[in-house]
């Protein structure tokens, strides 16, 4: 095995956690995955991701919940990680309006337990997921980490901003080197079924109309999963050195895409793969509560510090997603595949 630090990845059965874990294993790292395998979306997809990871040497998986301090403590005691990547969280802006308690349990209590574990079992680097949702509905673009983010418009966004404050405080008090990453609309193969591109694909294949909010007048900084993973990997072994040792970065494509262009690109890829035979039928609706008009990442700091900038176009990224979707759901070529 590698002599590089052992890494705990929470949310390892999730979308980003799976891709990051797979990349680290390919590099010969030892990865301890931690996930509660909740049923926010089909557990069979999470299990299929884990099956992919389990085929690699150097991967251990622990099923547990971040909101259980004893479970978190046990991982640190048994595996003594030197790097922790906290990707476990209850995701989804809209679901946070329907079921707020789960966001407090997972995103606030769970992250507190991670910070406490890092405090009592010091690590070289804690990397944690934040979100572009912390920017709310601000008009200034692109969004910079120096911008005011004191006006979240969903509970999900509020929990992510809380994570940043909590991490900063623990870095200040206990010198925990911590890096927060504000992810911008991550998409790609093995993605989350609750995301728009995924649900659009499901509905289009079934011949159902898709719901398009704000009458299609929205922009998103769609960021392909491989770019997200490369961004995380580029900084993993370079913990912050400041006082306190805490920093924030945006990871976004730096190229917002009009929602209607996104839908047409998805549609053309589905036609190319012969998964649909006619254009999408769209139901245009007003903006949903908690949603934002646009996201747009300023990634100058990431380029300055790590010479890295996401670069995958929406055309290339959606082509990869549709090819995977066809193999997984239509051809059932993955273990535990197909719903």
Domain boundary assignment for the chain: 7-191+223-253+296-311
pLDDT score of 4 more than 90: no
The pLDDT score that the predictor gives to residue 138 is: 87
pLDDT score of 301 more than 80: yes
CA distances from 291 to 84, 136, 218, 251, 335 (A): 30, 8, 10, 20, 35
- Is residue 183 within 8 A of residue 16, CB to CB? The reply is yes
pLDDT score of 239 more than 80: yes
CATH of 7-191+223-253+296-311, one of 3.40.50.720, 3.30.70.20, 3.30.70.100, 3.90.1150.10: 3.40.50.720
Tokens 């709310």 -> residue: 136
- Residues with Cβ < 8 Å from 270, sequence gap 6 or more? 201, 204, 205, 276, 322
CA angle 85, 153, 250 (to 5 degrees): 35
Strand pairing class (257-258; 219-220): antiparallel
Q: What is the pLDDT of residues 118-169, one digit of tens each?
A: 999 999 999 999 999 999 988 899 999 999 999 999 999 999 999 999 999 9
329 is an active site residue: no
Rounded to an integer, the average pLDDT of 286-314 is: 91
The pLDDT score that the predictor gives to residue 11 is: 98
pLDDT score of 336 more than 70: no
The pLDDT score that the predictor gives to residue 19 is: 98
Residue 128: its H or E element:
strand 125-131
Q: Which of 182, 59, 179, 180 is nearest to 125 (CA)?
A: 179
Report the mean per-residue pLDDT for the chain. Answer: 93
Q: Of 156, 170, 249, 328, which is the active-site residue?
A: 156
Comparing 335 with 83, the larger pLDDT belongs to 83
Measured distance CA(77)–CA(86) in Å, rounded: 17
pLDDT score of 256 more than 90: yes
Comparing 166 with 4, the larger pLDDT belongs to 166
- Residues with Cβ < 8 Å from 335, sequence gap 6 or more? 48, 51
């Amino acid at each position: 095995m590698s002599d590089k630090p052992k890494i705990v990845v929470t949310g390892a059965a999730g979308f980003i956690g799976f891709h990051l874990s797979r990349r680290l294993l390919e590099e010969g790292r030892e990865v301890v995955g931690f996930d509660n395998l909740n049923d926010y979306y089909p557990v069979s997809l999470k299990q299929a991701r884990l099956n992919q990871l389990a085929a690699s040497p150097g991967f251990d998986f622990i099923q547990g919940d971040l909101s259980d301090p004893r479970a978190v403590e046990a991982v640190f005691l048994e595996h003594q990680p030197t790097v922790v990547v906290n990707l476990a969280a209850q995701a989804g802006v809209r679901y946070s309006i329907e079921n707020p308690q789960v966001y407090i349990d997972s995103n606030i209590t769970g992250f507190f337990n991670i910070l406490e574990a890092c405090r009592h079992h010091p690590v070289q680097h804690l990397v944690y997921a934040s979100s572009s949702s912390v920017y709310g509905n601000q008009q200034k673009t692109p969004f910079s980490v120096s911008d005011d983010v004191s006006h979240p418009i969903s509970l999900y966004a509020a929990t992510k901003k809380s994570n940043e404050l909590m991490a900063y405080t623990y870095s200040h008090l206990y010198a925990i080197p911590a890096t927060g990453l504000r992810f911008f609309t991550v998409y790609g193969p093995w993605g989350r079924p609750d995301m728009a591109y995924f649900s659009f694909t499901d509905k289009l294949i079934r011949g159902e109309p898709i719901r398009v909010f704000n009458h299609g007048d929205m922009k998103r900084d769609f960021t392909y999963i491989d770019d997200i993973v490369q961004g995380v990997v580029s900084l993993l072994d370079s913990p912050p050195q400041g006082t306190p040792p805490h920093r924030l970065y945006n990871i976004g494509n730096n190229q917002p895409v009009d929602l209607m262009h996104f839908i047409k690109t998805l549609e053309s890829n589905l036609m190319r793969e012969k998964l649909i035979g006619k254009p999408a039928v769209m139901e245009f609706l007003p903006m949903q509560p908690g949603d934002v008009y646009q996201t747009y990442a300023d990634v100058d700091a990431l380029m300055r510090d790590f010479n890295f900038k996401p670069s995958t176009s929406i055309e290339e990224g959606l082509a990869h997603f549709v090819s995977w979707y066809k193999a997984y759901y239509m051809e059932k070529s993955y273990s535990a595949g197909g719903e």
